[in-house]
Amino acid sequence: MREEGIHNHKLQYDALILRFSGEIGIKSRPVRLRLEKRIEEIVKRELTREGIKVLGVSKFLGRLIINTPEPIAAIPRLTKVFGISSLSPALRTSSNLQDIVEASLRIAKGLLRPGSTFAVKCRRVGSHPYRSPEVCRRVGEAILNGIGRDVKVNLDEPDTSFSIEVRGADAYVYVENETIKGPGGFPKGSQGKVLCLLSGGVDSAVALWLAMKRGCYPLLVYFDNEPYTDDTTTQRAVEVAKKLSEWTQGFCNRVYLVPHGNNLKEILDRCPRRLTCILCKRMMYRIAEVLADRLGAEGLLTGEALGEQASQTLHNLRILEQAIVKYPVHRPLLGFDKDETHKIARLIGVYELTARKVKECTAAPEKPATKASIEDVLEAEERLDVDTMVRKTFEGIVVRRLDRDFSGT
């Protein structure tokens, strides 16, 4: 998802080829068109926000082609648009065969070095007075004759692979080595809203990103456990939310801060210590359910992974979910191990933030229950005024804008 592979900066590319995710292509025609239209709208908005000039946009089966004098500048933003599988900066020309040959030679002269090998591929859509093999042959001959630096053709493992797409009256020449990988998935918002419990740690951050990749519209909520944590924990969560908002194209620009410290104090004062984490999370689920109802979400999302903590055993996860009735709890990381989670965190740019040292919750018991009894949990909750706790907590929720300084409101 980076642009380090683009070496031919001296050549002024003037187009950008975007490829839609393969999953989109196998949908029914109405669904595919709706998803592609959504991606097109997001792309246009992102380019406008970045001040990148767009001379035209053409949509083909599985492709979106942007005619712009600044394709390289557009790449960092567009590699964060879900639904795009890859991007290639290209040189646009006419479908006239001689024009294709000349454009290809211009690119080759800026890339090929003495002793290097190359291959040429061609894909055509429409009616033309030539076939794809002829295009490859003519371009290959022009490169061999025009460069003369002992370059050779290698169709199996070339150092550089030139690709030509001929579509109607236009043609686009690009280098496969310079193709940038996109995030794939579905365009954000195409699958509805989900309320995401964001802790600021690596698990919830990656879970949130995975949900966005599948088209979910994220609503971020953070449970503030002060005085059992402190400002460093909250600040980390907000910074992680800001970083993840770079993938949302302006849709997600706020986080709901929930004051949870008083609830935790009630649990510590009245309930068995070994059940603290179970009771704490069940209370979080209840509050999140009310918030999801108010915001029109389709479910809750957490970063819980099987066996990661005592409260995340398969048995205890069932105990947690029994606290709510209206919404499912989605856990994208259920089967992930930590290495897999860290790999994605580095890829999406949140690993360093989530690894920042903060004050860990001091309310966690030394010997938490790994297989809590639902009877013991319900008996403990009878000592709490759960409904009042939920209502008072909900009244204290503060909304923070991510596009403003954290000290603002």
For 117-176, what is each residue's pLDDT tens digit? 999 999 999 999 999 999 999 999 999 999 877 899 999 999 999 999 999 999 999 999
pLDDT score recorded for residue 57:
93
407 burial (CB, 10 Å; 0-12 / 13-18 / 19+) is exposed
Q: What is the mean pLDDT of residues 282-291?
A: 97
In contact, 56 and 69? CB cutoff 8 Å: no
Question: pLDDT tens-digit profile of 100-109?
Answer: 999 999 999 9
Annotated domain spans of the chain: 15-181, 193-401
Q: Take residue 163 and report the two structure tokens written for it.
A: 């690709």
Residue 298 pLDDT level (bands cut at 50, 70, 90): very high
**Rounded to two decimals, what is the model's pTM?**
0.89
Average pLDDT over residues 367-374: 93
- The correct CATH number of 193-401 out of 3.10.180.10, 1.10.357.10, 3.40.50.720, 3.40.50.620 is 3.40.50.620
Contact call for residues 26 and 197 (beta carbons, < 8 A): no
- pLDDT digits 0-9 by tens, 199-240: 999 999 999 999 999 999 999 999 999 999 999 999 999 999
Q: How many C-beta atoms surround the C-beta of residue 312 within 10 A?
A: 22
Confidence at residue 148, expressed as pLDDT on a 0 to 100 scale? 76
pLDDT at position 194 over 70: yes
Cis peptide bond prior to 227, omega within 30° of 0? yes
Q: Average pLDDT in the 232-254 region?
A: 88
Task: Tell me the average pLDDT across 36-59.
Answer: 93
Q: List Cα–Cα distances, 377 to 260, 274, 325, 384, in angstroms.
A: 19, 10, 17, 11
Domain 15-181's class?
alpha beta
- pLDDT, one tens digit per residue, over 175-188 is 999 999 999 999 98
Q: Is 363 a residue whose pLDDT tops 80?
A: yes
pLDDT tens, residue by residue, 311-354: 999 999 999 999 999 999 999 999 999 999 999 999 999 999 99
> For residue 188, what pLDDT is reported?
86
Residue percentage of the chain with pLDDT more than 70: 95
Q: What is the pLDDT of residues 53-73, one digit of tens each?
A: 999 999 888 899 999 999 999
Strands (E), 314-354: 329-330
Q: Which helix (H) or strand (E) holds 104?
A: helix 97-111
Band (pLDDT 50/70/90 cuts) for residue 6 is low
Given a contact cutoff of 8 angstroms between Cβ atoms, the answer to whether 180 and 86 are in contact is yes
**Is the sign of the CA dihedral 21, 22, 28, 29 positive or negative?**
positive
pLDDT category of residue 1 using cuts at 50, 70 and 90: very low
Q: How many CA atoms lie within 13 A of 281 on its CB side?
A: 26
What is the C-alpha separation between 43 and 18, in angstroms, rounded?
10
- Give the per-residue pLDDT at 248: 83
pLDDT more than 90, % of the chain: 85
pLDDT band at 408 (very low <50, low <70, confident <90, very high): very low
| Summary count for the chain: helices (H), strands (E) | 14, 15
Q: Give the residue, 401 or 302, on which the prediction is more confident.
A: 302
